[in-house]
C-alpha cells in the first residue's frame, strides 16, 4: 500500500513538473517530440484517375516526392467516383484522391496543404479539399513559367463553400 502511494505521488509530481515546465517554455522538448511523432505518421492516398491523363501522373509524382504514398487506380468512369464521394460538379477536376481516414482531395491540391489539412481537426460534414478545374501552374499542371492564381476550396456534405487557402504565387505551393 505504501509503495503504491509513493509511486502515485511520484507520477503526479512528474506530471505537474512537465506541465509547469512546458507552460514556462512552450518550445520545450515535449511539443517538439509530439511534432516529430506526428510527422512520422505515414499518409497514403488512393488516387482514382483516367489511365491516359498525363497531368494526373505528374500530380502523383509531386505527391510521392513529398513523402505521401499513393496507390493509383485507373477508372473508366470518373463521374461515378465523384458521385460516390459527393463531389459537386462545380468542384470537380480530373482525379480524386482518398486518404485512409476517408478525406477526399480533388484535383491538383498541393501536397503541402494535404498534409496540413490531415493534421487539423475538421467539422463533421467536411469531405476534404479541392482545386476545381485544372489551373495552370498547380502541381502536375506546370506549363513553363505560366501560373494562374487559384483557391483551394473545402468540400462539405452540405455544399457550404469556403476557401481553405488562396494561392497567389507559384512558390507558395511547396
Give the pLDDT confidence score for residue 160 in this predicted structure: 85
Beginning with the edge strand found earlier in the chain, give each strand of the sheet holding 69-74 in spatial order: 69-74, 44-49, 96-99, 104-107, 126-131, 150-156, 162-167
- Count other Cβ atoms within 10 Å, centred on residue 108: 27
Ordered mean pLDDT values, 10 residues apiece, the chain (174 residues) = 41 39 38 48 94 95 98 97 96 97 98 98 96 97 96 93 96 96
Give the pLDDT confidence score for residue 44 in this predicted structure: 98
Distance (Å, whole) CA 34 – CA 56: 34
Give the pLDDT confidence score for residue 82 in this predicted structure: 97
Amino acid at each position: 500500500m505504501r509503495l503504491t502511494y509513493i509511486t502515485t505521488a511520484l507520477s503526479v509530481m512528474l506530471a505537474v513538473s512537465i506541465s509547469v515546465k512546458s507552460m514556462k517554455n512552450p518550445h520545450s522538448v515535449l511539443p517538439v517530440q509530439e511534432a516529430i511523432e506526428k510527422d512520422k505518421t505515414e499518409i497514403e492516398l488512393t488516387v482514382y484517375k483516367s489511365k491516359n491523363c498525363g497531368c494526373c501522373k505528374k500530380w502523383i509524382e509531386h505527391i510521392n516526392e513529398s513523402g505521401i504514398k499513393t496507390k493509383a487506380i485507373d477508372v473508366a468512369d470518373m463521374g461515378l467516383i465523384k458521385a460516390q464521394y459527393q463531389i459537386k460538379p462545380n468542384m470537380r477536376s480530373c482525379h480524386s484522391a482518398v486518404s485512409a481516414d476517408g478525406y477526399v482531395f480533388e484535383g491538383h491540391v498541393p501536397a503541402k496543404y494535404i498534409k496540413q489539412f490531415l493534421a487539423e481537426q475538421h467539422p463533421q460534414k467536411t469531405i476534404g479539399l479541392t482545386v476545381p478545374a485544372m489551373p495552370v501552374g498547380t502541381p502536375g499542371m506546370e506549363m513553363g513559367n505560366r501560373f494562374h492564381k487559384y483557391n483551394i476550396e473545402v468540400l462539405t456534405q452540405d455544399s457550404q463553400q469556403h476557401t481553405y487557402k488562396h494561392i497567389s504565387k507559384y512558390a507558395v505551393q511547396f
